[in-house]
Copies of this chain bind each other. A is one copy, B any other.
Amino acid sequence: MTSSSSSRKRQHVVDTAYLLFKRDGFHATGVDRIIAEADIAKMTMYRHFAAKDELIVAVLEHRAARFERELDRLAATADTAAAKIATILDWHERWFRDADFHGCLFAHALAEFGDPDHPVFKAAARQKNGLRARMRFILEKELPPERAEEAAAALLMLIEGATLMAQMGEAATAIANARRAASAILAGARVPQ
Contacts and interface: CB of A to CB of B under 8 A. Distances in A.
Contacts of A129: 168
A33 B173 CA distance: 40
A107 B163 CA distance: 11
Interface stretch (A9-17, A42-50, A66-74, A183-191): A183-191
Interface residues of A, number: 46
Describe A's contact surface by its main secondary structure: helix
B114 A23 contact: yes
A158 to B, nearest CB: 5
A54 interface: no
Smallest CB-CB A-B distances: 3 pairs: A157-B161, A184-B188, A154-B181
A84 interface: no
Q: How many copies does the complex hold?
A: 2
Contact of A174 (B102, B157, B183): B157
Interface string A75-90: 0000000000000000
Interface string A90-106: 00000000000011000
A112 B27 contact: yes
Interface string A149-193: 010011011111110110111100110111011011101110000
B110 A103 contact: yes
